[in-house]
Chains A and B, each alone.
Chain A
């Protein structure tokens, strides 16, 4: 079960730099570990994270095997207009989660 926690300020002043925090539930299995019997555990990680602000991409990250479980990504952007921020995580084994948050810019 995938679940995500997102923290976006509800309101912001136009031109203000806002901080956005995202946390998603994922095991981030590296693909380098083995079971007790020596079999390789296949890699299962999030590969890509992107955030769009009213359709415009404002932040993107590529994730790699060394990143810990439940990746916590914090970034900032400039509040330009009211609207929606969309967050999209994609990864191995068809992992795909989309979340959104609304922001009011005054």
Chain B
């Protein structure tokens, strides 16, 4: 190989290595995943009678008022009308839970309410009921800005999430940031790489033919880079959720969104 060729290879390797430490996307340049979708998919998301995620919202609304568990209480017995009391709640999660002394996602928060206050058996992650309740709660925040308040209690979790986001992992040795900060807008096979702002979870993915949580999406990505995915509810996933939501702070919440 000529010295010129070797130099060229070295430059390419360096450029790729440098992209692992790509700067965060400037606030003004952030775009929701819906901006990268086709016109038809966006129309599907915007029309409540065409958005399949609304089927889960409908079911969640029914579960909200259904009494369950040893306590014989429904969500509505404590929280009242979700349209008022749950407004903005999903846009503030994950959040710090003082009694538990840790960070909890929206799904986990619903789970605690169910086991501790209703005395009902816990709902499995990604079960239809849990997704329905999460979708119903998340729907009440549609159109509101994402508000993740970072204080001294949540700061360590945010830092841990940021570290995970920037850490190379898996057999492909890729970090989240290499695709979503350094190469967003470019093509990965037939798809456009989005900026990874979790603006619409839980959301309906056409590929899934169903509704799924942000953790399901994150696990998909981890499998994609051939890393061992964290278990549902693992602290690493919740920290990553927090970092992504903080990264999308101020952006409009659009749950239940539709994605290809």
Seen from chain A, the residues whose Cβ lies within 8 Å of a Cβ on chain B are 1, 3, 5-7, 21, 23-25, 27-28, 68-70, 72
Cβ of A23 and Cβ of B55 under 8 Å apart?
yes
In the A-B complex, the 3 residue pairs with the smallest Cβ-Cβ separation, listed nearest first, are: A7-B49, A69-B209, A25-B55
A21 & B59 in contact (Cβ 8 Å cutoff): no
CA distance A72 to B50 in the complex (A): 7
A106 to B209: give the CA distance in the assembly, Å.
Answer: 40
What chain A residues lie within 8 Å of B59 (beta carbons)? 1, 3, 25
Query: Is there an interface contact between A5 and B54, defined as CB atoms closer than 8 Å?
Result: yes
Distance, CA A72 to CA B210, complexed state (A): 13
Does the CB pair A5–B209 fall under 8 Å?
no
6 new A-B contacts at CB < 8 Å, known A68-B209, A70-B55:
A3-B55, A5-B55, A6-B49, A21-B50, A24-B55, A28-B209
**What residue of chain B has the Cβ atom nearest to residue A4's Cβ?**
B55
B202 in the interface (beta carbon within 8 A): no
Give CA–CA (A70, B210) in the complex, Å.
Answer: 8
Chain B residue total in the interface (Cβ 8 A):
13
A70–B55 Cα distance when bound, in Å, is 9
**The one of A3, A21, A27, A68 that contacts B58, using a Cβ cutoff of 8 Å:** A3
CA distance A39 to B136 in the complex (A): 35
16 contacts between A and B (CB under 8 A): A1-B59, A5-B48, A5-B49, A7-B49, A21-B49, A23-B49, A23-B52, A24-B55, A27-B209, A68-B206, A68-B209, A69-B52, A69-B209, A69-B210, A70-B52, A70-B209
Bound form: Cα–Cα A68–B210 in Å: 10
- The docked-state distance in angstroms from the alpha carbon of A23 to that of B58 is 12
| Closest A residue to B63 using CB positions | A1
A72 and B58 contacting across the interface, CB-CB below 8 Å: no
Distance in angstroms from B239 CB to nearest chain A CB is 31
Query: Which of chain A's residues have a CB closer than 8 A to the CB of B49?
Result: 5-7, 21, 23
Residues of B close to A1: CB separation below 8 A: 59, 128
Beyond A23-B52, A72-B50, A72-B52, whether A5 also contacts B58 by CB under 8 A is: yes
How far is it, in angstroms, between the C-alpha of A64 and the C-alpha of B52 when the chains are bound?
19
Task: Output the least CB separation between B90 and chain A (Å).
Answer: 21
Q: How far is the CA of A3 from the CA of B58 in the complex (A)?
A: 8
Q: CB-CB < 8 A to B48: which residues of A?
A: 5
- Binary contact readout B48-81 vs A (1 if CB under 8 angstroms, 0 otherwise): 1110101100110000000000000000000000
Q: Which residues of B are found within 8 Å of A68, using beta-carbon distances?
A: 206, 209
Please measure, in the bound complex, the distance between the C-alpha atom of A24 and the C-alpha atom of B52, giving whole angstroms.
Answer: 8
The distance in angstroms between the C-alpha atoms of A70 and B209, with both chains bound, is 8
Task: Provide the B168-209 mask, 1 if CB < 8 A to any CB of A, else 0.
Answer: 000000000000000000000000000000000000001001
| Complex contacts, A21 vs chain B, CB 8 Å | 47, 49-50
Report the bound CA distance from A21 to B206 in whole Å: 19
Tell me the minimal C-beta distance from A29 to chain B in angstroms. Answer: 10
- The residue on A at minimum CB distance from B54 is A5
Docked complex Cα distance between A9 and B206 (Å): 27
